[in-house]
Structure formats: structure tokens, C-alpha cells
Structure 1
Amino acid sequence: MPTETSNGPSTTSTKTPEVATWVFWPAAIVVLLFVAFAILLPESAEALFAGIQSSIVSNFNWYYVLIAAFFVVFSLWVGFSRFGDIKLGKDDDEPEFSMGSWFSLLFAAGMGIGLVFYGVGEPLSHFANPRPGVEGTANQLASQALSQTYLHWGVHAWSIYVVIGLALAYAIHRKGRSVSIRWALEPLLGKRVRGGWGNLIDVIALVGTLFGVATSLGLGVVQISAGLESAGIITASEFGNIILILIITGGVLFSVLSGVAKGMKWLSNINLVLAGLIVLFLLVVGPTQFLLRDFVQSIGAYLQGFVGLSFSVGAFTGAEGEAWQATWTTFYWGWWISWAPFVGVFIARISRGRTVRQFVTGVLLVPTLITFLWFSVLGGTALYSELNGPGGLVGEDGTVNVEGALFAMFDQLPAGSVLTIGAIILIAIFFVTSADSGALVMSMFASGGQVEPKRWIRAFFACVTSALAIALLIAGGLQALQTAAIIIALPFSVVMLLICWATGLAFGREHRAFERAQRAALLEHIGDHYGLDTDEAPAPAPGARRMSIFRRRQHRGPATSATTSTGTPAAESAESAERAEPPTGVL
């Protein structure tokens, strides 16, 4: 930036650093040490993860559930309160995207590897092994299974994203800040966000995003392996998973280093179309009427039990309830919190010109409904198979192969092999786009908010994310992935609570400033509206004099003569008195 001298601005400028030193290196060191430990000492790492997960779930299970519910309340409050009209941009900014395009992009943000991985496996798991304490007939358990799935993927998940996305959209578009989590806390911390506190916040966000993206990539490669095994191409194994990660990471690096930005856009669009075709095909060849009725009914069941499900912590189910909570609800809340900076940046970027109310309504409503449709079609088809035949998706011992359940269901449908290949392509593209987009967002954090960070930084984070996914798979597979999400969410959840506080402060100040500006703009005319004192008394409104005379007569009573002692009519006398003594301006 130019430097000032006594004679004016100097031509000397300082070069913008490629990375934010106190953000990039601490985050890189933490993650690389973790990767080295997990790969070199996998058994010790697995035991450590299991112990940490047990400790966190035992002591903080209630905390994760409580803050997730709080984020829902906060999102609804900020969206539908007096702050709803605040614009995420300058006052004259128009939305960058049309409403239809904006909804499509929100839908793109809602689609990901996790939806494909758990689309069939989770509803089946809740059906075969329901939450401890839940009992009923097979049909009741099937309905409960979808309601529980909706809880994990619905309003709670997107409320977590709203907290980050809304704060970043306000900071970036309204205040002109760079793409960095620290600026979401500027209303609370002030100038301190530029120093050590800001660096710490960005390090936590960067490490959390790394683990969140790595968790998604780990799930994706496990399911790709299961799909290839179902198609008879390879046998699923840990070594095969590592090879798959390396191959797909090579494609990501080619994209990053070649700078083929349009390629990522085309891949994203292809994936949305492919996901839509799979849902449409299942609706046509599957139990269509059942799926449509199930979609409507399961939403009603979800809404009916929303509050109870939101605060369920398995308090009366002992160790069994804790284990179930760790596998499902606590894992999801941790995963969404660690994934929030990545999704938050995306939805903030596309929301310039929207109001707070439009932002909250769109982000909570559109992706949630699309997600519900996805689970009701894929999960509903699997549940219909178990209830009405042919079944076989749940093992005789009640276990569900989560990563392979999708392909087992496809085998029961017409063109099952085509569906299997389509699903593998879908997951692979999700892997590439998630890794590429995740590397871009993490590079922004690590470079101090640069919109176009250097390619070597993006390549570094693409490689580190893949290495982290490999390390987690080696150190315990799916359980290690879940544990990593739960662990990293604990410190970042504190940052998110502070962001809620900071957002409330910022919106409160904005609203008060607007009220002051509004009053200032009306100051010259406010006396006309409210009767306040002005430099010159305003002329009475038409009919006001006659009303004043009438009121005085009423006050004087019937004994008052129609004329005064001087012979002047009472009405004229009252009118003269009114002219002589103008209103005092009392409200």
C-alpha cells in the first residue's frame, strides 16, 4: 500500500504477503503433526480417538445438543425480527443473482458427499436400530427413522450455516471486509481482530474446515470403494481406499494448477443434473405414490416432534444412549460446525444484495426441503423394500452396511447397474468439487482473505486434506472420521457463539443508526406530524378552529351565553382569543 509523507503520498508500496504467517503456519503444523501421528502410530491414534470421543460425549453431549438448538432460535430471531430488513450489501446494491438462480446455488451448497453416503444407510439404520427408548410397530419405526434423519440434515444443520454465512455476508458485502472469519467478530472485538485474537480465530476456523472437508472426503472414498465392489470391479480395502484418494487428488491438483475454473462450474452443474435424474428415476420406477405420501407425512412427523427431538440427549438410556448419540446426533452437530466456514463462505458469496430476512428464509427453507425430498425418495424406497419386500437391506443381526446400502438397493431396481455407475460418478465428482472448493476457501483464510490466493497454497491444502483423510481412515476408519469432527467442533463452537453475540451487536447498532438517520431526515417536518415546537407556529389545519370552538362551548356548558358582555358573538370572541394565543405545542 502507498505510504504517506509530509509532501504527499509516496510511490513506494509494500508487497502483499502470499500467506498470513500467524494463520497459515500454526494451522499447517497442527494438521501435519496430526497426520504424522495417525499414519505412523495408527493403533495408538485409534485408542486415543476412542478415549477422546468417549470423554467428549460423556461430558459435552448436552452442550452440543443445546447449542445446535440455540443456533436454530438465533437464526429465526435474527431473520424475522426488526433486523430482517438490513441489507447484506450497500443500500443501493441489487441482488447479484435472480431468485431462481440463487435458490439453485443454495441447492448446490446443500448437495454433497454426505447426502449420497447416508441417503439410504441412515434411514435404514434408524429403522433397524432405533434411538434407545423408541419403540413401536415396523411402520411406526419406519416413520420415526425418517423424522430422525430429517433432524440431522434439516433446519439445525442449516441454522449452523446461517450463523457463519450471515455474519460473513454482512462483513464482506456491507462493511467491505475480506473473506476471513475474524471479521465476523469485529463488532465484538473491535481492533483486536487485526492482531493475535483474530489470528487465533482464523487458525481454529482453518483447522476446523480441514477436518470437516477431510471427513467428507473420507466418507466419499469409502462409498466409492463399496460401489466399485458392488459393480464387481475391485474388492474394497483400506489400501484400495488410499489409492482412490491419491487418484482423485491428482485430478484436483490438475484443476487447481491449470486454473480451469470453468471446469469446476461445469462439474457442479453436471452433478446437480445427475442427482436430480437419480431422484426422478426412483420416483418413476419405485413406489411413486408411497414416496410422495411419505414425503408429506414424514415432514409432518418431523415438525410435530421437532422440539422433543431437538433436545433429546438420551438421559435415561445409559451407556447405550451415549453410544448412539455419539454415532449420530453429536457427530452430526460436530460435522456441521466444522463444515460451517466452508459452506458459510459459499452462501455469503452468493447473497450480496439480499436482506437478512431473505437470506435466513432462503437458506433455511430451500436446501432443507430439497434434502428432505432426497431422503424421502432414497430412504423411503429402501424402507418400502424392507416393509413390503423384497427386503434384505438389513442384516439378520440387525446391522446395516451404511456405505454399501445404496448400491444394494439399486440392485433391486431396474437398470440397477446403471444407477450404481451413476452414483459412483456422482460421488467422484462431489469429491473433486468439494476438495477443490475446500482448498480455495482454506487458502482464502490462510492468505488473509485474498479472493484469488496463489495456486501453490491451494495445491498445498488439497494435498493436506487428502493426507488427513488417509490418516483418519488408517487410524480407525468411519469412527475416526466421526471423532475428528466431534473434537474439532468443540473449540469452534465457542467461536460461533461469539459470532452470534457479535452479529446481534452489529445489527443492533445498524438499526439504531437507521432510526437516528430517519429522525434526522424528518426533523424539519416532524412538528407538522407530531405537534412538536417549531420556530414558527404552524397554521391550524382546516376545520381545527371550528373543532376548538365547539370543544370550548362544550367545556363552558349550557349557561354560557351566545354573546359576550361587549355584544360580540361568542364564536368570534373564541376565534379572536385563539388567534391571540397560538397553540403551545403540547403533545
Structure 2
Amino acid sequence: MPTEPREPDSSAAADSPDPAAQAPLPRHIERSRFGGTERRHTRADEDEAPATRSELSRGSQELRAQQPTARISWSVLLVASVIILAFSLWAIATPSLARASMKQAVDWIATNLGWFYVLTMTLVIGFVVWVALSKEGNVRLGPDQSRPQYGLATWVAMLFAAGVGIDLLFFSVTGPIVQYLHPPSGTGASAAALQDAVVWTMFHYGIAGWSVYALLGMAMGYFAYRWGMPLSIRAALYPLLGRRMRGPVGDGISTIALVGTVFGVATSMGIGVVLLSVGFARLFGLPDGLALQIALVAGAVLITVAATTSGVDKGIRLISELNLWSAVAMMLYILVAGETAFLLNALVENVGRFLVTLPSRMFQTFAYQGGDGAEWMGSWTLFFWAFWLAWGPFVGVFLARISRGRTLREFVIAAITVPVLCDFIIVSLFGNSALFQVLQGNTEFAQLAIDSPERGWYALLELFPGATFLIGLATLSGLLFYITSANSGAMVMSNFSAHIPDPAQDGPKWLRIFWAILTAVLTVAMLLAGGVVTMEYATLIFALPVTAIAYLVMASFHKVLRMERAEREGQVLRRASIAPSGGHLPERSWKQRMEQLVTFPSRREVTQFLQRTVRPALDDVAAEFRRQGYEVERSDDASVNGVQGPLLRVSMEALRAFLYQVAIVEAPVPTFSGRMSRDTDVYCRLEVFTQTGSGGYDLMGLTRQQVIDDVLERYEAHLAFLTFSTQTDTASVLTPPLQPRPPAQE
């Protein structure tokens, strides 16, 4: 960029047909003579949050500036570890006091802040559905040309296994029985209570939790894979807080997310070992109790360490698929061996009632039930909402890691439908099987399920034919649920406590081992302090600060999606002739068009064309930009977002840089072509890439002047986007309006 502001060239502006060039610019934008270049004054305060998408492009450099390579975030690691270790020692040393104190805190939250949890989850659901249905739903978690890393079946299995814990099995029996015999309102053991018994558990395991996962997952994945930022909460909040995310503010937010994650995972692990200890005792004749539970925690840590250090592609992927198939086998066995007709009828009715009553349940706070309503809310709905919020950051990171290349719409719809439907099937089959026994007069089983949910779950399995086989299968499935959650949890905890510039990398292996051990210590501490009930209390308390992160992420992501819309609409305003794929079509003669239709060049031919025509054209444009005083990067073999090829980048100070890159892309030869090659079924194209991906058109066959014209067309479209995004951006409390920089003193 020129070091001094240029005066507008009135004659050039008068002759220009460009509507963007003729439009008045905001007062903090200046135009130079070359192609209507726009320039923003730099901020007096560099810590201000980015006010436009252009400034957002600084995030990749700013968030990586202090950590070009992976390193430990010692402040986050130490503070979070001290909090967790102090709580663990307190719970171990004074279990009765810890349990009583947490109970008092939970009662206060349920009475005074229940509405806040309810409102938060309702807004999260509405936000993710809005993203999926909006025009920005087509935006990918990565450049426009990126495609998914995993196949659909594997991806769905990993979605399901990562976000579903063994607690689902734990509550699938006790939940419906409790809601039938002791409903939140009305008379227990009534027809109305029976109709809602399973639906309440489906509600708690339904769309709300997966909406939290979708929100945090798509936000972190978007900034990591589309903008090249670290895969972290820090990056997701960069549009609101700017460079502050590099300092104490970012450390504080990461610490909150990390502590909430550890308590969420520890709660799941605690519920898991309580359930699995009963299964191991029944299968192997071991004495059930705290000693066996602690032994299972230790054994699970060893398995988790071994699986986690093998990485996503090996350990977690294999366990996720095995987990899904074992759960499917268990559900089929229960369906076939149990009351098949009753279970299928009940499943259909449960799903239908869930859909019809979902809006009213989302806003249900039981304000008119007094203390009983608050107590029920704290024990059930608020606990689950806090549970999902605590799990949100860690599941979100894991989902983002496996979803690169997916569109926002695909990501959200898959997350809130496929795993939710699997949850519904598990809850309905187990819950209705349990209710069938209660309706037959098995009151002893009902009381056992209420007093000791883990024993009630296995007591239900013993009522089926082939009980030993079913108990073994169910224990295996529960163990895989547990290992998957603990495995991915340890990996994500290490990521939260480290600065990792590359989203494809994970934290150091020793750090994952450290978090696996510390989470196990916390699990044992809560088992000593009162078991599952104490875990519920701790989750509800420590998840409260995480709700603030959910609101910040929604505000941040909403802002950046408006920037995506500004870019798209700015390009449309600049040029009406858009290719079907979204790219601009360079003007060609009829002979050039005919030649492109009937020839399919090889890699050698396009490489020669690249050398003889495209590179000299880019050199000419770069030379003219430099002559005009701009800072230009010109490389013949650059790599940007995984794309390799000649690059032209024009820096624009605080604005988003203009990028024009040409890469060789293989494409299949059309089978209907009359000149199909006999030697190969692919040919090569020269596609143009910008910061958001491929333009979708081919430069092959153009003249040197036509390539130059295409670069300038792209550049003018970039200027139109800068103007449009500035005119449509709105300041907020966290992003104050940009003020013009005062003139320099002589």
C-alpha cells in the first residue's frame, strides 16, 4: 500500500462504469488511483475487536503470533489444575461438608437461576436452526473447495459416539420410572404421567444438548478451517474481543471452558463406573462397591491413555464404530426378545408427543409448583442443561475435528437429527421395557430403579431371555460408551490447555495422560463425596460460567456470518455475470470457447500454459501494483489452505488482502464427449482460487491479456466487497464503531 494517502482521481471515477467506484465511501475509507483501491485507517487501539470481515483476516496471524508452534498454555493449565485438584481434595477430606455445601448451592441456582438455564438452551436451539436454514448454511467448514475427510457412515458414528455417554443407559430406565411414579406435576401413576414418562427423558436427551454441541463445534471449526485460526474457543470469540483473546481474557475463557469440560467428563465417568461395576460384579462374581469402582477408573485410564495416544484416525474412529454397532445389536436384541409390538407402538407415540410438546417443554420452569417445582428442575432439567453446557466445549472441538469440509447446514442438521434419533430409540426401548414391568405390577423392580438406578438397569436386563448374554453385551456397550467419552475428553482437554496453531494437531501425549489422570482423581473424589448425586451437583454449579461462553459464541458467529453475507452480496452487486459455480467467467472468443469444449488437456499441457501465459500475466500485474506503491507478494509455488500454485497477494493494511492463485485441478473427462481420451479418464484445469476457495472456472486457453483482465475483474470485485461490508457492518457494545485516525502532526 502507498505510505501516503492519494487524492481521488475524478476523471477516472467519472469514466468508470463500476457502480461500487461511483458510490460514496464511508469517511474512514480512502481511494487511490489504481482501480479504486480502498484503504482503512489503522486503529489507534490495536486491541479493538475487528469491525469488518477484512479486519477479521488478521486473526490467523494475531492468534498465532505468540505461538508459531504448539506450546503449553501454562497459565490455563496451572489455574485449571489447581481448581480441580483443590475441589477434589476438599471432597475427599470432608465429603459430608462438600455434599451439603453443593446441595445448598444447587438449591439456590434452581430457585433463582432456573429461568436462565431454560432461556439459554432455547436461544441456542433457535440460533443453530437459524444458521442451518439461512443462506449462509452453504458456507463450508473450510475453503469452498474443501470436502469431508470421513465418509457419511463413519462421520455419523463418530458424531453419535462422541456426544453420547454411558449416562444415557443409566437414566434410560430410572428416568421414565421416576417421571411416571413421581411426575413434576399432576398425580403419580396416572394415565397422564404414563404418557409423559418416557417423553421427559427424551426431552432431556434430545435436541437441546446436540444444539449446544453444534453451536460450539461449527463456530470453532469455521474459524479453524476457513480462516486458519487455532481450533479453540479463543478463535471463535476473536470477532468480538480481537487481540484480547491472546492475553488474560483469552486465558480466562479457556480456563472456564476447561474446568467445565473436566467436571462434565468426570460426571460421565463417575456414572459409568457406578453402572459398570454392577455389570462386572454380576458377570465375574466380584464384590460390588467403591473398591471395584476405583479399580475400574484406574483400568479405564490405562485404556484411555492407550487409545488417545493413537489419534483420531486410529483409536477414536475404531472405538466409535464398534460402539455404534454394539449399541445397535443391544437394541435389536431388546426389541426382538421383548414386547416388540408394544415397544414399536410406544416409540412412535413417544416421538410424536415429543415433537408436539417440545415448544412448551422448552419454556417450562414449573414456577407455579413452588419449592417442589424448583427441586424437580434442579434434579432433572437444569442438571441435564448444565451437563450439556459442560460437555459443549469438548464435544464441540471433537466434532469440529472430524467435520472439516462439511457445510454449516449439513453439520447442524446431522448433529440435531441422527444422534438425537439414536438417543430416542435407546431411551424409548429401555424406558418402555421398564414401564411395561411396572404396569404388570412389579413394584419391587420399580423401587429398585428409583433407589439404585444402576442396579435397576441390570435388573431389567435379567428379565429378558438369555440374560447372561444380554448383560455381557450391554456391559461391553457401556464400556465402549465410557471409553469413547473419556478418550475424546482427554484429547480435547490437552488442546484447551495448549496453544496449537494447526487445527489438525492435538496436544502433547503427556498432557493427555495428565488430564486423564486428573479427571480420574476428580471422579474418585466425587464418588467418595456421595456418588452420582454429588456429581450432578458439581456439574450444575461449574457449568454456570460456561453459559456466558455460549452467549459470546452466538454473538461472535452471528457477526461473522453477516460478514459472509456481505462478501457474497458485494460480489453480486459488482458483477451480474456469475458462473453457475459462483465464479466469474472471463470473456472468450467463440473459437476459444469451442476449443475448451472439445479438448481435455493433460497435466504437461496445462503446466506449459501456466509457465508461458499465466505466470507472465501475474508478473505484469504485480509489477504495476508495485509501481503504484503497493506491497505485493508474488510466488510461483505458494501453498494457501492446501492449494498449491502461482500466487498474487496485494496487502491492504488493515483491510483483507486481495489474493489471486491459480492451481492445477484434475477433473473427470465427460463420458459423452466425442473426443474422449483413450489413455486417461481425467484431464487438468487451471482454476482460480481466492481466500474463500475456488472460483469454479478454467483459465486454460486464454491469452495473456485475458488473464490480466480476469485478475483485475477479481480485484474490482474485492473492492466492491470491502465497500459493501463496511456499509452494512453494525457496531455493538463489544465492537465499538471505528473512528477515523487523527491526521499526523507535522
Matched, 1:49 2:102: yes
Aligned match for 1:463, one of 510, 517, 537: 517
Q: TM-score, normalised by structure 1?
A: 0.83
Deviations 1:238-262 (A, max 9, x none): 2332222123223333445677973
User: The residue matched to 1:208 in structure 2 has which SS?
Assistant: helix
User: 1:157-236 alignment to 2 at 5 Å?
Assistant: 157-231=209-283, 233-236=285-288
Structure 1's 144 and 14: CA in aligned 2 closer, same or farther, altered over 3 A?
A: closer
Instruction: Point out the structure with max Rg over C-alpha.
Output: 1
User: The residue matched to 1:316 in structure 2 has which SS?
Assistant: helix
Matched, 1:107 2:160: yes
CA distance in 1, matches of 2:311, 2:229: 25
Matched, 1:366 2:379: no
Aligned match for 1:71, one of 124, 127, 131: 124
1:472 aligns to what? 526
1:404 aligns to what? 455
1:432 aligns to what? 483
Q: How many residue pairs are counted as aligned between the two chains?
A: 511
Deviations 1:373-421 (A, max 9, x none): 111111111112222465642129x945312222111111101121112
Q: Percent identity?
A: 35
User: The residue matched to 1:438 in structure 2 has which SS?
Assistant: helix
CA distance in 2, matches of 1:494, 1:317: 28
1:31 aligns to what? 84
User: Quick check: 1:113–1:431 contact (8 Å CA) kept in 2?
Assistant: yes
TM-aligned CA deviation for residue 268 of structure 1? 2.7
User: Quick check: 2:398–2:488 contact (8 Å CA) kept in 1?
Assistant: no
User: 1:192-341 alignment to 2 at 5 Å?
Assistant: 192-231=244-283, 233-256=285-308, 262-341=314-393
User: Quick check: 1:146–1:298 contact (8 Å CA) kept in 2?
Assistant: yes
Structure 1's 439 and 433: CA in aligned 2 closer, same or farther, altered over 3 A?
A: same
TM-aligned CA deviation for residue 97 of structure 1? 2.9
Aligned match for 1:150, one of 178, 202, 209: 202
CA distance in 1, matches of 2:152, 2:313: 24
Structure 1's 313 and 38: CA in aligned 2 closer, same or farther, altered over 3 A?
A: same
- The letter of the residue matching 2:170 is F
Matched, 1:483 2:542: no
Q: Which runs of 5+ in 2 are unaligned?
A: 1-65, 580-746
Structure having the higher helix fraction is 1
Deviations 1:162-215 (A, max 9, x none): 111111111111111112111111111122212221111111111111111001
CA distance in 2, matches of 1:232, 1:473: 22
User: Quick check: 1:255–1:261 contact (8 Å CA) kept in 2?
Assistant: no
CA distance in 2, matches of 1:421, 1:343: 28
TM-aligned CA deviation for residue 235 of structure 1? 3.4
User: Quick check: 2:70–2:500 contact (8 Å CA) kept in 1?
Assistant: no
- The letter of the residue matching 1:72 is I
User: The residue matched to 2:71 in structure 1 has which SS?
Assistant: coil
Q: Which runs of 5+ in 1 are unaligned?
A: 1-12, 526-587
CA distance in 2, matches of 1:239, 1:197: 42
Structure having the higher strand fraction is 2
Select between 220-229 and 479-488 the one with higher mean Cα deviation: 220-229
User: Quick check: 1:393–1:405 contact (8 Å CA) kept in 2?
Assistant: yes
- The letter of the residue matching 1:26 is V
1:548 aligns to what? none
Aligned match for 2:147, one of 94, 104, 122: 94
CA distance in 2, matches of 1:288, 1:248: 35
CA distance in 1, matches of 2:314, 2:69: 27
CA distance in 2, matches of 1:264, 1:499: 27
Q: TM-score, normalised by structure 2?
A: 0.65
CA distance in 1, matches of 2:511, 2:225: 25
Matched, 1:384 2:436: yes
TM-aligned CA deviation for residue 358 of structure 1? 1.6
- The letter of the residue matching 1:482 is E
User: Quick check: 2:217–2:400 contact (8 Å CA) kept in 1?
Assistant: yes
Structure 1's 179 and 294: CA in aligned 2 closer, same or farther, altered over 3 A?
A: same
RMSD: 2.3
CA distance in 2, matches of 1:259, 1:92: 26
Aligned match for 1:58, one of 111, 115, 119: 111
Structure 1's 176 and 456: CA in aligned 2 closer, same or farther, altered over 3 A?
A: same
CA distance in 1, matches of 2:486, 2:556: 30
Select between 421-430 and 96-105 the one with higher mean Cα deviation: 96-105
Structure 1's 91 and 54: CA in aligned 2 closer, same or farther, altered over 3 A?
A: same
Deviations 1:347-376 (A, max 9, x none): 212222222222211111111111111111
Structure 1's 15 and 111: CA in aligned 2 closer, same or farther, altered over 3 A?
A: closer
Matched, 1:448 2:502: no
